[in-house]
Amino acid sequence: MVLDRLSFSSSLPGTRRLSRLAYFLSASLIMCFAACGAALSDAAQVVGPNACAECHKQETEAWKTTHHFKTFRDLPRNGEAKKIADKMGVRRIKSEGLCVTCHFTVQQKDDGKEPVAGISCESCHSAGKDWIKVHSSYSGKTAKTETKAEAAARWKLADSKGMIRTSAIYQLAKNCYGCHVVPQEELVNKGGHRAGSAFDLVSWSQGEVRHNTWYSKGKENAAANTTRRRMLYLVGLGVELETSLRGVAKATVRKPYAFFMAQRVDRVRKQLAAAAKAAPNVPEIAKLVEYAHSASLKLNNERLLTAAADSVSKLLTGLTEKYDGSTMAGLDALIPGPEKYVGTVRQPSATN
């Protein structure tokens, strides 16, 4: 069954087209299936959002206004979530693996594992036990007395212990798309769970989840600058391609999941082709387009589709090391502007 040549019918079960905002408002049902589960697979390594809030007060306040935060309370009460759970044989949304792994931050307690929050700090930046004290220690000094060399060594050590910092765009994007593209065929085909949101890295990261307040000492929640937005846009497209290729690779039956995943690949192929034309001085984009077409979107083609996704992953890793966005002005016309940002951005009050 060659999905490449099929039209993606909106009449297929579960393929109703929703606006970006509608997807966002139902985000508690589509967030964090793979990446959060992978990042937080060891509950003993999770320190919980309160540990982060000790220093990151403004960032925490921004998080509390998001659907990432509210899913902890809202998901178990959500009628659609209950229907999906029933179809999947899940009796307790907040205490059984399929839902807990995807939608909550789970911490090891004396009497077992316990959900302590919704999608939280460690869902994106990885479980913090090994790195939280390292990253905040100022090498045993203070922010004013730590040297640049000491700071660099401290951050390198934190990275080696698993911290995913804001500079690690590829790793952050992998977490985002791992959550916003549901890589579980049965959950979609049997449970009726949406296969993912109409997600793009710029408009969502610069929307309500934005918490860029640290370097302004809480005075403002600034949007990413031009060069960073270019990198977010390009790397986001690349990770969309990688994740969707892996989704098609895992599809086994001609049902909505397979169509959804193929549709995502088809869409991002076109977006990358436009990006390659807009920024011909970045040859890696054309290479992404080549990888995008290197394997047929069909069932029983896991080996070639996975190889294509692996090639995309390797290229993106090198791309983020080579470029900083300063030479990608051609992409500016393609990048979503502020009017496309999803949700309301929290701005600190004058008294904070």
**Which residue numbers in the chain have pLDDT < 50?**
1-2, 5-38, 351
Question: Is residue 351 in a domain?
Answer: no
Residues 295 and 226 in one domain: yes
Bridge partners for 117 per DSSP: 105
Residues 149 and 25 in one domain: no
Contact 23/198 with Cβ under 8 angstroms? yes
Residues 148 and 192 in one domain: no
Q: Return the sign of the alpha-carbon dihedral for residues 34, 41, 321, 132.
A: positive
Residues 278 and 249 in one domain: yes
Residues 50 and 173 in one domain: yes
Which pLDDT value is given to residue 163? 97
Residues 236 and 193 in one domain: yes
Residues 99 and 214 in one domain: yes
Tokens of 9: 């019918």
Question: Is residue 348 in a domain?
Answer: no
Question: Is residue 346 in a domain?
Answer: no
Residues 275 and 138 in one domain: no
**Average confidence score pLDDT of the chain:** 88
| Closest by CA position to 92, among listed 31, 39, 123, 103 | 103
Question: Containing domain of residue 319, as a range?
Answer: 3-7+18-128+163-340
Q: Is 103 exposed, middle or buried (0-12, 13-18, 19+ CB in 10 A)?
A: buried
Contact 348/221 with Cβ under 8 angstroms? yes
Which pLDDT value is given to residue 20? 40
Question: Is residue 26 in a domain?
Answer: yes
Give the span between the Cα atoms of 241 and 230, in whole angstroms. Answer: 17
Residues 136 and 109 in one domain: no
Question: Is residue 299 in a domain?
Answer: yes
Question: Is residue 350 in a domain?
Answer: no
Question: Is residue 266 in a domain?
Answer: yes
Give the span between the Cα atoms of 285 and 264, in whole angstroms. Answer: 18
Residues 152 and 114 in one domain: no
Which of 140, 162, 184 represents a domain boundary (last residue)? Answer: 162
Tokens of 305: 């589709």
| Closest by CA position to 288, among listed 298, 273, 303 | 273
Which of 141, 162, 183 represents a domain boundary (last residue)? Answer: 162
Give the span between the Cα atoms of 102 and 106, in whole angstroms. Answer: 10
Which pLDDT value is given to residue 179? 78
Q: Amino acid letter at 266?
A: D
How many structural domains comprise the chain? 2
Which pLDDT value is given to residue 5? 45
Question: Is residue 352 in a domain?
Answer: no
Residues 243 and 95 in one domain: yes
Residues 278 and 216 in one domain: yes
